[in-house]
Amino acid sequence: MKEAKIIAEIGCNHKGDMEIAKEMIQMAKIFCKADIVKFQKRNNKELLTEEQYHAPHPNPMHSYGKSYGEHREYLEFTLDQHRELQQYCNDLDIEYSTSVWDLTSAKEIVSLNPKLIKIPSACNNNFEMLEWLALNYIGEIHVSTGMTTKLEIEELIQFFIKFKRNKDLVVYSCTSGYPVPFDDICLLEIRNLIEKYGSLVNEIGFSGHHLGIAVDVAAYSLGATYIERHYTLDRTWKGTDHAASLEPDGLRRLCRDLKAVSKALNFKNKDILDIEMVQRNKLKYRNNLVLND
């Protein structure tokens, strides 16, 4: 088993505040010991229709603006701010990444040349954006499969095979909900993805929106080598993602447990391990004497 790589998805949980975003990066690296932090980039005028942009937020208590468009703009960082956050990540030695929701955002983030870019479930059928990335971005392309049929997943994989980019692809098992009840997580879909596409793509991951951390350890045990969780400093903050996010101590425990399981998932390299020889010499020989008498 490859060692688990843990992605702390900050997303928009920074509340549009650069200082909070930097605090979250620092906390994810130093306290939690995550491997990667992930933000989001949207061009809201491109992504939303005029009607959607000017409509009220569907959950007004979580809105940062008078309309859904204003809410999204309030939470959006500029490209220069993303560049600053990337440099902050570099200084702390934690990987920076971003989900891109539209072609303009994809082009902007590619200009930063991150190691990986994420395609959220909502955008994995935006083939105009996917084609541009396949032709112009040399890093890893990570794609979630929430809200996606098996036929659509097949079309997605074949699309990247056509562009000879399938070996740069990480495909995530995902259920889109906030939060997702346990019986809707469907962890065994990880095995389906591995059996069908494990030899065709780079790796299989798991993106969770559930409560607690037990499911993520099981996902890794089933073969998902990237584990992505939403992360916040305070689950009571305004915003729809916070309730399905881990607070710092939850993320810290997840990173600790996944790294422990990473070490434990192996085979014995000999019949009697060195640590067992002490107990064998102390206990087993005496038992054998009693049996022989």
Query: What is the secondary structure of 114-144 as a DSSP string?
Result: -SEEEE-GGGTT-HHHHHHHHHH--SEEEEE
pLDDT in tens, 187-197: 999 999 999 99
- The yes-or-no verdict on residue 251 having pLDDT over 60 is yes
Please tell me the predicted confidence (pLDDT) of residue 239. Answer: 85
Spatial distance between the Cα atoms of 126 and 226, rounded to a whole number of angstroms: 23
pLDDT in tens, 58-84: 888 889 999 999 999 999 999 999 999
Tell me the average pLDDT across 109-126: 98
- The yes-or-no verdict on residue 271 having pLDDT over 90 is yes
The angle, 0 to 180 degrees and rounded to 10, between the axes of the packed helices 150-162 and 127-136 is 30
* Residue 244 pLDDT grade (very low, low, confident, very high; cuts 50, 70, 90): confident
Domain edges within the chain: 5-267
Instruction: Extract the runs of DSSP E, i.e. beta strands, from 36-168.
Output: 36-41, 95-100, 116-119, 140-144
Please tell me the predicted confidence (pLDDT) of residue 88. Answer: 98
Q: For residue 115, count other CB atoms closer than 10 A to its CB.
A: 10
Phi-psi region for residue 48, left (φ > 0), alpha (ψ -120 to 50) or beta? beta
CATH code at 5-267? 3.20.20.70
59-68, 126-135, 205-214 — which is least confidently predicted? Answer: 59-68
Please tell me the predicted confidence (pLDDT) of residue 184. Answer: 97
Angle at 10 between CA 172 and CA 79, to 5 degrees: 100
Q: Does the reported pTM lie above 0.75?
A: yes
In which element (H, E) is residue 10 found?
strand 5-11
Please tell me the predicted confidence (pLDDT) of residue 286. Answer: 61
Q: For residue 157, count other CB atoms closer than 10 A to its CB.
A: 19
